[in-house]
Amino acid sequence: MPEDTTDHPLLQNLNPPQMEAVMHTEGPLLILAGAGSGKTTVITRRIAWLIEEKGAHPGSILAMTFTNKAAEEMRDRVAQLVSVPVAQLWVSTFHSFCTRILRREGERTPVGRDFVIFDPSDQKSLMKQVLAELKMSEKQFHPRRVLEVISDFKNRCLLPEEAVEEALDPWTRKVLDAYTLYQKGLRNHRACDFDDLLLYTERLFRDDAMQQIYGDRFRYLLVDEYQDTNRAQYLLVQHLARRHHNLCVVGDEDQSIYGWRGADIRNILDFQRDFPEAVQIKLEQNYRSTQSILDAASTVIANNAQRLGKTLWTERGVGEPITFRLNDDGRAEAEWVVSKIQDARRFDRDIKIAVLYRANWQSRQMEEALRGANLPYKLVGGTKFYERQEVKDLLSYLRLIANPYDLQSFRRAVSSPTRGVGPTTLAKIEGAIPENGTALEGVAILLKAGELKGRAARELHRFVELFYRAANEASALGLAGLVRWTLHESGYLQMLEDEGTLEAEGRVRNLEEFLSAAAECESLGLRLSEFLDRVTLAADADQVDQSIELSLMTIHCAKGLEFPIVFVVGMEEEVFPNRQARETDEGLEEERRLFYVAITRAKAKLYLSGARRRRIMGTEMLGMPSRFLRELPEGALEHPIRWGTELYQAGQGAWTPERARGGSGASVATELTRIRSFFDKVRATAQVGSERETLPPASMPASELSAPSLPVPGEAWPKGTRIQSPRFGRGVITAATGSGEGLTYTIRFAEAGEKRIVARFGMLEREG
DNA sequence: CTAACATGTTCAGCC
DNA sequence: AACATGTTAG
For B3, nearest residue by CA–C1' is A418
CA dist., res. A599 & res. A593, Å (int): 10
Return the SS3 of A298.
helix
| 3-state class percentages of chain A: helix first, strand second, coil last, to nearest 5 | 50, 15, 35
For the stretch A49-54, contacts whose Cβ atoms lie closer than 8 Å and that sit 24 or more positions apart, written own/partner, are A49/A10, A49/A22, A49/A23, A49/A25, A50/A25, A50/A220, A51/A78, A51/A82, A51/A84, A51/A86, A52/A10, A52/A81, A52/A82, A52/A83, A53/A8, A53/A10, A54/A25
Q: Note the strand C nucleotides within 7 A of protein beta carbons.
A: 1-3, 5
- Tell me the pLDDT of chain A averaged across its residues: 85
Cβ contact A53:A10 at 8 Å: yes
Q: Is A255 a residue of the active site?
A: yes
The DSSP 8-state label assigned to residue A161 in this structure reads G
Compute, in degrees rounded to 10, the torsion defined by CA atoms A62, A237, A71, A524. Answer: 70
CA dist., res. A378 & res. A385, Å (int): 14
pLDDT over 90 percentage in chain A: 52
Catalytic residue among A73, A193, A195, A224: A224
Q: Note the strand B nucleotides within 7 A of protein beta carbons.
A: 1-3, 9-15
- Calculate the angstrom distance between C1' of B8 and CA of A757: 37
Whole-model pTM?
0.82
Q: What is the CA radius of gyration of chain A?
A: 28
Cβ contact A141:A175 at 8 Å: yes
Q: Is A601 a residue of the active site?
A: yes
pLDDT over 70 percentage in chain A: 87
Return the SS3 of A560.
coil
Catalytic residue among A73, A195, A225, A589: A225
Residue A48 backbone class (left: φ over 0; alpha: ψ -120 to 50; beta: rest): alpha
A110-138: pLDDT as tens digits:
999 999 999 998 999 999 989 988 988 88
CA dist., res. A512 & res. A53, Å (int): 47
pLDDT category at A635 given cuts 50, 70, 90 is: confident
Lowest mean pLDDT among A103-107, A354-358, A419-423, A556-560: A419-423
Catalytic residue among A227, A255, A285, A425: A255
Q: Where are the alpha helices (DSSP H) in A169-269?
A: 170-189, 194-204, 208-217, 231-241, 266-269
- Calculate the angstrom distance between C1' of B14 and CA of A351: 29
pLDDT category at A657 given cuts 50, 70, 90 is: very low
Work out if A383's Cβ lies within 7 angstroms of strand C: yes
Work out if A617's Cβ lies within 7 angstroms of strand C: yes
Q: Which nucleotide is nearest to A619 (CA to C1')?
A: C1
- Minimal CA–CA distance to A507: which of A398, A412, A390, A415? A390
CA dist., res. A128 & res. A141, Å (int): 10
**Environment class of residue A282 by beta-carbon count within 10 Å: exposed (0-12), middle (13-18) or buried (19+)?**
middle
- Calculate the angstrom distance between C1' of C6 and CA of A139: 15
- Calculate the angstrom distance between C1' of B10 and CA of A457: 40
A688-708: pLDDT as tens digits:
333 333 222 222 222 222 222
- Exposure of A651 in the CB half-sphere (CA atoms within 13 A): 10
Q: Is A498 a residue of the active site?
A: no
Q: Is A39 a residue of the active site?
A: yes
A408-440: pLDDT as tens digits:
999 999 988 888 888 888 888 888 888 888 999
Catalytic residue among A39, A231, A352, A605: A39
Cβ contact A201:A236 at 8 Å: yes
- Calculate the angstrom distance between C1' of B9 and CA of A455: 36
CA dist., res. A345 & res. A330, Å (int): 23
Distances (CA, A) of A645 to A155, A278, A640, A648, A655: 47, 55, 13, 10, 11
Cβ contact A568:A598 at 8 Å: yes
